[in-house]
Amino acid sequence: MTTIAKTLYAKALSVLRSRLALMIMCYTVIMSIVTIIRHYTFFSAAWDLGIFNQAFWSTLHGRFFYYDVEPWFGKCFFGVHFSPIIIFLVPFYAVYPSPETLLVLQSFIIALGAVPLYYLAKDELSEKLALLFSFLYLTYPLLIGANIFDFHLEAFMPVTLLSTIYFLKKKNLKFYVLSLILFLMSLEFAPFLTLLIALYLFVTKFKAKGKLKEVVAYVVLTVSLSIVWLFLGFAVRFYLRPPETGAMSILTPVLSEIGHPLQLLGYLVANPYGKFMYLVLMLAPLLFTSLFSSYFLLALPWILLTFTLNYGPYYEIGYQYPLVIIPFIFLSSIYGIKKILHSTALKKENFTKLLFISSLFFLIGSTTLAQPYLAFNIERIDTAHRFISLVPENASILTTNNFFPHMSNRFNVWVLPSTYDEPFPQYHLGISIIRKEYTIRFLNESNPDFILLDFQVGAEAQNVKLITSKLLTRRHYGVYAWTDGILLLKRDYESDPVIFTPLNLTFNYKSLRIYEGSKVADPTSKSGIVLAHTTRDFDNVTFWTAPHLTLPPGEYNVTFKLKLGGNAQNVSVMLLDAETDERAKILNSTIVHVSDFEELNTWKEFSLAFSINEFPTGVELRGWRVSNKVDVYLDYVEVVQLSWKPNNVEG
């Protein structure tokens, strides 16, 4: 009977482990598909998938982790993050050098964290609960959100940190050192976490008589390696960075305010609802069991630091940062459950059911993380890929954040910062000024072969202005392709565009902004609801404005569909105009009079034609100086591009 029992147990163990492997494989496949689709549909970005792809590609082509996205941190990726663990991925990347390879590798690496977690839970709880914990890990919303978002170094932290803790508990010095070194290699601030572990180990064992001797070698070794690695990481980054950013780190903002504790406390409690909900979503999937173990204290320093920095992505789902503390959350949950089961009459089977229900509930909830990436226009995506294919592989190009990852398999590809604001709102580090200086220097000195911009997504108005004022005033670029808000410019190009689809936009009550007036139903209109300014509204004010437009060179016609109501007097109804940004130039305007309408309550179209001669120009359309002597209604505003070349340009 004993032999039979052992055989059955071994088979059961084999089944459980095979299920773990199956879960890891399923997670890797599903998340790889999700992230690759997200990348293909242009939801990935230069920050950070483009950065990593250029760094890996450059390594294969002779420049060690070269990247050019953040020149203020130097030209080697180790200048911004000292993470030599990524060197181990180079052979795998070399098989198929592309962003997709990095996305698949990341999904697999994150999934591997379930393995040491499984063994930790098995030792402390049971085989069944261990398997459930692995499932909880792979369906954890914060983990899935981090996996979806591009490629990041934090992906290495769960598997390496959990392995480090597991081998520490097993007193396996050889594998502990190996796991510890791999964890330290993941990110330059990893030593702070390992020092916390050493401190926790020392304090807890110091209280237990006779236990300190068992771990003193591990504590000394951990502290020694952590300090050495901390200084090594700082030295490497300081050496590789330009002087103005050499000493910057994640601790710099807090250290700059260390003498103002009340101010730091104010930063900590700012946005209380957002931070509270983050904590709830962090703890609820595990039924708040993490709070029942002192291991949760290991996560607190990171939580307090990120809350004090007040940088939204640090405490929002959908970013990589939760991967830093997910190991501590699950570790503390294991010991929290162990404590609960020992101190209460709650049966293990019942608790297992509760955890399983929780995992299913949050797994269903996690599917909403992918919803923002389902709203895409496949025709526009195909157009964007076609534009990208027009750029030769050896050509240099300046592009936008969303296009950069698709063009990052080259040395000379550039992107401008998506923002020039300080990353931490309450702290001024000067990085905003540094970014702006580097951007202007680049635009003054560089001459990319192509410029590819997406005006619907990635072309920020401030960057368009910088490109116009700094680069295009000294070098000629012609329209090489233009369709659906995607513009490809080629240096010194004079011929007709190889792709050209005229712009055609319509704005109605859904997109027009009302300043004075209201929205009213009108069955005779095209959209069923119109904008109205009546005799009850203020006189001589702005009625409406259209959304800001960025238009390439060409001939344009704007149509306004209007009608009058009430007792009309022969007065000027409204001034319609098209002007450039900040009203620098009136492109065209017209005053609409009551006499321009043949009869009341009948729709009539009015037109404005104008030319744009320069690189994409910001244009504003508006109706203003509206009279309250008559009721006036606006159905829609239609913008049509008639040609890609202005009439006053020869050719």
pLDDT band at 605 (very low <50, low <70, confident <90, very high): very high
Q: Is residue 648 part of a domain?
A: no
The pLDDT assigned to 203 comes to: 85
Same domain, 527 and 448: no
Which of 75-79, 118-122, 181-185, 375-379 has the lowest average pLDDT?
375-379
Last residue of a domain, one of 372, 404, 431: 372
Counting beta carbons within 10 angstroms of the beta carbon of residue 390, is it exposed (0 to 12), middle (13 to 18) or buried (19 or more)?
middle
Same domain, 166 and 288: yes
422 close to 429: Cβ distance less than 8 angstroms: yes
CATH number of domain containing 531: 2.60.120.260
- Tell me how many domains the chain contains: 3
649 pLDDT above the threshold of 50:
no
Q: What is the domain range of residue 617?
A: 504-643
Same domain, 223 and 76: yes
Last residue of a domain, one of 462, 483, 500: 500
Alpha-helical segments (H) within 287-427? 300-309, 326-343, 348-366, 378-389
Percent of the chain with pLDDT over 90: 62
pLDDT band at 370 (very low <50, low <70, confident <90, very high): low
Residue bearing tokens 């009015």: 606
Same domain, 47 and 113: yes
Q: Which residue has the higher pLDDT, 27 or 368?
A: 27
Same domain, 466 and 543: no
Across residues 555-578, what is the average pLDDT? Answer: 90
Same domain, 151 and 191: yes
Which of 195-209, 229-243, 475-489 has the lowest average pLDDT?
195-209
Q: Is residue 579 part of a domain?
A: yes
pLDDT band at 451 (very low <50, low <70, confident <90, very high): very high
Residue bearing tokens 């932290």: 157
Which of 167-181, 264-278, 355-369, 528-542 has the lowest average pLDDT?
355-369
* Mean of per-residue pLDDT scores for the chain: 88
Q: Is residue 36 part of a domain?
A: yes
Q: Is residue 395 part of a domain?
A: yes
pLDDT band at 651 (very low <50, low <70, confident <90, very high): very low
257 close to 309: Cβ distance less than 8 angstroms: no
Across residues 339-356, what is the average pLDDT? Answer: 79
The pLDDT assigned to 426 comes to: 67
User: In angstroms, rounded to a whole number, what is the distance separating the alpha carbons of residues 546 and 285?
Assistant: 45
The pLDDT assigned to 371 comes to: 64
Q: Which residues contact 356 (CB under 8 A, 6 or more apart)?
A: 132, 135
Q: Is the peptide bond before 48 cis (omega within 30 degrees of 0)?
A: yes
Half-sphere exposure of 102 (CA within 13 A, CB side): 29
Tokens standing for residue 114: 């379930």
Same domain, 609 and 466: no
Tokens standing for residue 347: 């049966």
The pLDDT assigned to 434 comes to: 85
Same domain, 189 and 245: yes
The pLDDT assigned to 5 comes to: 56
Tokens standing for residue 87: 């060197």
Last residue of a domain, one of 485, 500, 515: 500
The pLDDT assigned to 353 comes to: 82
Same domain, 383 and 366: no
Tell me, rounded to whole angstroms, the distance of Cα 222 from its chain centroid. Answer: 34
Q: Is residue 651 part of a domain?
A: no
Same domain, 428 and 467: yes
The pLDDT assigned to 78 comes to: 95
Q: Which of these, 193, 199, 190, lies nearest to 218 by C-alpha position?
A: 199
User: In angstroms, rounded to a whole number, what is the distance separating the alpha carbons of residues 461 and 221?
Assistant: 53
pLDDT band at 474 (very low <50, low <70, confident <90, very high): confident
DSSP one-letter string for 95-137 = HS-SHHHHHHHHHHHHHTTHHHHHHHHHHHS-HHHHHHHHHHH
Same domain, 368 and 422: no
Q: Is residue 25 part of a domain?
A: yes
For 270-326, where are the E strands, in sequence order? none
Across residues 601-621, what is the average pLDDT? Answer: 88
Report the b/e string of 1-23 with b at 16+ CB within 10 A.
eeeeeeeeeeeeeeebbeebeeb
Q: Which residues contact 169 (CB under 8 A, 6 or more apart)?
A: 120, 123
Q: How far apart are the first and last CA of the chain?
A: 95
CA distances from 461 to 405, 436, 481 (A): 21, 14, 20
322 close to 142: Cβ distance less than 8 angstroms: yes
Same domain, 391 and 530: no
Three-state SS letters, 153-181: HHHHHHHHHHHHHHHHHCCCHHHHHHHHH
pLDDT band at 427 (very low <50, low <70, confident <90, very high): low
Number of neighbouring beta carbons within 10 Å of residue 402: 22
The pLDDT assigned to 459 comes to: 61
Q: Is residue 327 part of a domain?
A: yes
The pLDDT assigned to 18 comes to: 80
Looking at residue 268, its amino acid is L
95 close to 101: Cβ distance less than 8 angstroms: yes
Q: Is residue 466 part of a domain?
A: yes
Percent of the chain with pLDDT over 70: 92
Across residues 137-154, what is the average pLDDT? Answer: 95
